[in-house]
Amino acid sequence: MGQVIYILAILIIPVLVAYKAGGKQQGVSFAVIILTFGIIFLLLLVPLNVAMPFGSGGDDVYYYRASLIRLSGITDWVDFSQFPQYEQAGFALLLTWIGQITGDSLYHRKAINVLFYLLLAITWFKIGKIVIGERQAKLFGLFILLALPLWYHWIFLLKDMVIIYLQSLFLSSLVYLLFTNVKHVSTYIKMVIVTFLLIPFRVQLVAVNALLFLVAGNLQLFTPLSSKTRKFILVITVILFFLFLDMLLEVDFIETMGARGRLRSYDIQTIILITEHSGILLVERSIGSYILMPLNFIVITLNGFWNILTPPIAKSIVAYKEHEHVFGLLCIPWALYGAPLAIAGILMSMRFKIKKAMNTDAVNYWIPMYVFTILYFVIYILVQSSRWIMPVYPVLVALSCYGWIKMQASKKIMFLSGSGALMLIMILMLFLRSR
């Protein structure tokens, strides 16, 4: 009975959220889309879970095994110390909560990422309402649902979907603050809560959110506002920026929230250690590697974080080794359809008239998303991990949607047919390579 209620909740929660987000005009239609995709994903997960229960990185296996414990008291439900083997224990505790309801089922643990995926689509629908308007906002959500590389993160038991959702939620709050006339305190509180929830999953991203918020606060000061509103924004920006930094500096608090280890807390000694470690890495890298870093970042992100053309790079992504062909198949449609549209979206979003450079929606609406992407490029330089920059992917999906909307109808037909032919060829090549 618990399993049935759990699956129903996986479907009902996003449907209700979608209905509210869509409002009177689009609430019903968008809720139907979310419900349809939710049912499809949960049905697909049944055979996929049987055929491919675990990936090869080991993370999902360890998460599953760790979540098999039983919680006896109320304090156990919020006790991250039960998972000393993890430097970030948030996902293990979340899966343990699910285990109390559904038992030892791996399928039901994977289903939680379907919930976050559906909520991710709704979040980008809300962003779409601001960026491209009410009528076409559903396309943002639909493109997210059709972004096949993201499917990998509910096919296997990985924490990345939670992180991607939380970061998109934070980004949506920034877009709301920058491009609506309403400055609700509740939006700031939402951003604090989202950042707080990131700590058990990837504490370093608190610093990213602090910088994003600082940039957004400064951008708001350049918009037409009353003197009273300007003072409010200035005060709240300073307070929340230092609040985010204080989260990182409080070692005991960070450890209580499930983040432990030398590089997870940010006291003075840790900052010195990280600085020295990063300095050594930066010095050891060749000049050629720095020249290629922007190109590598662009290639990896545009290919759905898996470089189809160079298998050695794909094989270096730890979580994708054994099921490389699965992730490759998921990335082919994106590489042929999504990536070209994303490039077109980037170019179109940067087009503006010189006389109205700061007033065009094509420029202003994308500024926080470009800042978001630049910050993750810095992360990529420091950690050289494609999984760490996955939160950028929904931004590229949104840009591909924007490119599709702005493309002429005649060119859309040529684009779809040409990319379809190339996709069939690449799927055949990947199939032959995997045999």
Do 155 and 52 contact (CB within 8 A), yes or no? Answer: yes
Q: Is 158 left (phi over 0), alpha (psi -120 to 50) or beta?
A: beta
Half-sphere exposure at residue 9, Cβ-oriented, CA atoms within 13 angstroms: 14
For the entire predicted model, the pTM comes to 0.85
How far is the CA of 21 from the CAs of 31, 39, 121, in angstroms?
A: 9, 20, 11
Q: What is the mean pLDDT of the chain?
A: 78
Residue 112's pLDDT band, with cuts at 50, 70 and 90, is very high
Distance (Å, whole) CA 6 – CA 93: 17
Q: What was the pLDDT predicted at 116?
A: 97
- 3-state helix/strand/coil string of 140-196: HHHHHHCCHHHHHHHHCCCCHHHHHHHHHHHHHHHHHHHHCCCCCHHHHHHHHHHHH
- 403: Cβ–Cβ under 8 A, 6 or more apart, which residues? 340, 341, 342, 343, 344, 345, 346, 347, 348
Domain boundaries, the chain: 2-434
User: What pLDDT digit, counting tens, does each position of 133-179 carry?
Assistant: 888 889 999 999 999 889 988 999 989 999 999 999 999 988 888 77
Check residue 229 and give left, alpha or beta (phi > 0: left; psi -120 to 50: alpha). Answer: alpha
Q: What are phi and psi of 366, to 5 degrees?
A: -95, -5
Please check whether residue 214 is in contact with residue 245, taking contact to mean a CB–CB distance below 8 angstroms. Answer: no
| CA distance linking residue 77 with residue 90, whole number of Å | 11
Q: Among the listed ranges 30-34, 53-57, 338-342, which one has the minimum average pLDDT value?
A: 53-57
Burial class (CB in 10 A: 0-12, 13-18, 19+), 217: buried
Asked if the model's pLDDT at residue 88 lies above 90, the reply is no
Which tens digit of pLDDT belongs to each residue from 266-294?
A: 554 454 444 444 444 444 555 555 555 56
Tokens of 139: 């396309």
**Dist. CA 187–CA 176, nearest whole Å:** 8
**Identity of residue 87:** E
Q: Residue 352: helix, strand or coil by DSSP?
A: coil
pLDDT of 260 over the 60 cut: yes
Task: Kindly report, residue by residue over 355-377, the tens digit of the pLDDT.
Answer: 344 444 444 678 888 888 888 88
Reading the block at residue 255, the tokens are 């450890």
